[in-house]
């Protein structure tokens, strides 16, 4: 039987690459559900090619366009946030790839966990916002969470065969982004066009800006705590400009294991789909005849304050990571719309962390309220 996969966010960078993996291994996988937020034309094109059982467009204003375009095919068409949350519970789905961007991925991921669907997690905000809640749900319903982020997939792969061996520390690598060597004075005047040019990875706009500001790495630090059960002081970030070593694990005997490969998101996506098996892939191979230098640096949290703010949020716990995520989503959108400077993003995030009410043991309803209040405050500050 082919594994039936629901892709939340099929028109984004991760979603489109996941469909490439499904196409390459069409004897093993089928796209059962495809969803998008706004990109209805791309969703129509994907639906006509992969012929899923159902499609969902989150923006209800695009429903009629989607419905009419697929009228000649036996594909169920839905729209809206509630439809997105319900579709993941379909009894025929085996795995849900959460490739949506941002806080919007939280509720459908929770529903998929309750429906005992294996989760291939690419939506980092889900664990950033509500890591404790997600872990508790996953344990309650016996739902596996398989990391798709290249860094967490690397750690996951390094831990294979190491059951019972205590982790000394997790070492997350960072490319440093396009502004790794910039001074504070230079960072003050960078443009969105510069920020969107990542040196190694091809990603969506939001995650590319997060990478440039190193908030992406901060979020990965928070995620690592929940995925691997380590303390904040056991999570180290090292800048590795070549993006060949995707992350490492050091064990208590001082031995370090690393996972290497060219920067290609199809590899961690395929591994999440096939785990514990490894499948043949047509991806380009790392060639050490041409890869002759791997270098490492310490991250500078004075120039890239977001990384320090993320560690602070993780140490504080409670709803603080939810605050930092909501503020970040607002400032990134503002930066992409030329409403705030690159360094100004960190200023707004820090002020939100100081001013939004802290809740030590938040419920789901607290996360919803925190997210809403933080967005209002961040917009007011901008």
pLDDT tens by residue, 296-325 = 999 999 999 999 999 999 999 999 999 999
Q: What is the pLDDT of residue 143?
A: 96
User: pLDDT value at position 238?
Assistant: 98
Q: Supply the pLDDT for residue 104.
A: 82
Question: Do the domains spanning 3-147 and 317-382 agree at the CATH topology level?
Answer: no
Domain regions of the chain by residue span: 3-147, 153-304, 317-382
Length of the chain: 382
Q: Which of 115-119, 137-141, 190-194, 296-300 has the lowest mean pLDDT?
A: 190-194
Percent of all residues in the chain with a pLDDT value above 70, rounded to a whole number: 99
Of 101 and 353, the structure prediction assigns the larger pLDDT to 353
Confidence class for position 91, pLDDT limits 50, 70, 90: very high
Quick one: which H or E segment has residue 347? Answer: helix 342-355
Q: Does domain 3-147 have CATH number 3.40.50.720?
A: yes
Q: Residue 351: its pLDDT value, please?
A: 98
Q: What is the pLDDT of residue 82?
A: 95
DSSP reduced 3-state for 323: helix
Residue 125: its pLDDT value, please? 86
Residue 180, C-beta contacts closer than 8 angstroms, at least 6 positions apart? 239, 241, 297
Rg of the chain over all Cα atoms, to the nearest angstrom: 20
Q: Is the pLDDT of residue 234 over 80?
A: yes
Collapse the DSSP code of 361 into the 3-class scheme (helix H, G, I; strand E, B; otherwise coil) and give the result.
coil
Whether pLDDT at 200 is above 80? no
Give the model confidence (pLDDT) of 326-373 as tens digits: 999 999 999 999 999 999 999 999 999 999 999 999 999 999 999 999
The DSSP output letter for 371 is H
Beta bridge partners of 7: 34, 97
pLDDT value of position 206:
87
Identify the DSSP state of 161.
Answer: T
pLDDT at 177: 87
> Residue 370 in contact with residue 362, Cβ under 8 Å?
yes
Q: Where are the alpha helices (DSSP H) in 160-204?
A: 184-187, 192-195
pLDDT score recorded for residue 204 = 76
Q: Look at phi and psi of residue 116 and say left if phi exceeds 0, alpha if psi is from -120 to 50, else beta.
A: left
How confident is the model at residue 353, as a pLDDT? 98
Is residue 251 predicted with pLDDT exceeding 90? yes
* pLDDT at 203 > cutoff 80: no
pTM of the entire predicted model: 0.93
End-to-end alpha-carbon separation of the chain, Å? 52
Nearest to 307 by CA among 378, 369, 236, 228: 236
Q: What is the mean pLDDT of residues 278-306?
A: 94
CA distance 299 to 374: 28
For the domain with range 317-382, which CATH number is right: 1.10.1740.10, 1.10.20.10, 3.40.190.10, 3.20.20.80? 1.10.1740.10
Q: Which two tokens stand for residue 3?
A: 């594994």
State the pLDDT at residue 201: 64
pLDDT tens for residues 161-199? 999 999 999 999 999 988 999 999 999 999 999 988 876
Contact 374, 322 (CB under 8 A): yes
For 30-55, how does the pLDDT look when each residue is reduced to its tens digit (9 = 90+)? 999 999 999 999 999 999 999 999 99
Helix (H) or strand (E) run with residue 40 in it: helix 40-50
Q: Is the pLDDT of residue 202 over 70?
A: no
């Amino acid at each position: 039987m082919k594994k039936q996969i629901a892709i939340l966010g099929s028109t984004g960078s991760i979603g489109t690459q996941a469909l490439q993996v499904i196409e390459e291994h069409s004897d093993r996988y089928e796209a059962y559900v495809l969803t998008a937020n706004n990109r209805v034309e791309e969703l129509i094109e994907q639906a006509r090619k992969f012929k899923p059982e159902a499609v969902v467009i989150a923006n209800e204003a695009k429903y009629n366009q989607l419905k009419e375009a697929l009228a000649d095919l036996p594909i169920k068409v839905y729209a809206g946030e509630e439809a997105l949350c319900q579709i993941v519970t379909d009894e025929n789905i085996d795995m849900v790839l959460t490739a949506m961007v941002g806080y919007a991925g939280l509720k459908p991921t929770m529903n998929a966990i309750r429906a005992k669907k294996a989760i291939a997690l690419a939506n980092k905000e889900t664990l950033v916002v509500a890591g404790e809640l997600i872990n508790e749900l996953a344990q309650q319903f016996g739902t596996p969470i398989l990391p798709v982020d290249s860094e967490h997939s690397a750690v996951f792969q390094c831990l294979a065969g190491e059951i019972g061996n205590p982790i000394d520390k997790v070492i997350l690598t960072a490319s440093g982004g396009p502004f790794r060597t910039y001074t504070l004075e230079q960072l003050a005047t960078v443009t969105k066009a510069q920020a969107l040019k990542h040196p190694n990875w091809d990603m969506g706009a939001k995650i590319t800006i997060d990478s440039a500001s190193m908030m992406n790495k901060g979020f990965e630090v928070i995620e690592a705590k929940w995925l691997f059960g380590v303390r904040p002081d056991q999570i180290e970030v090292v800048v590795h400009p070549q993006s060949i070593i995707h992350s490492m694990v050091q064990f208590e005997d001082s031995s370090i294991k690393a996972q290497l490969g060219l920067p290609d998101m199809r590899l961690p996506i395929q591994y999440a789909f096939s785990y514990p098996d490894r499948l043949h892939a047509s991806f380009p191979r790392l060639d050490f005849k041409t890869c002759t230098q791997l270098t490492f640096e310490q991250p500078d949290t004075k120039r890239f304050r977001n990384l320090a703010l993320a560690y602070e949020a993780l140490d504080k716990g409670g709803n603080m990571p939810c605050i930092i995520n909501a503020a970040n989503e607002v400032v990134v959108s503002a930066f992409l719309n030329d409403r705030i400077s690159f360094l100004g993003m960190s200023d707004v995030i820090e002020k939100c962390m100081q001013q939004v009410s802290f809740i030590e043991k938040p419920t789901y309803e607290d996360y919803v309220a925190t997210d809403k209040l933080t967005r209002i405050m961040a917009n007011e500050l901008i």
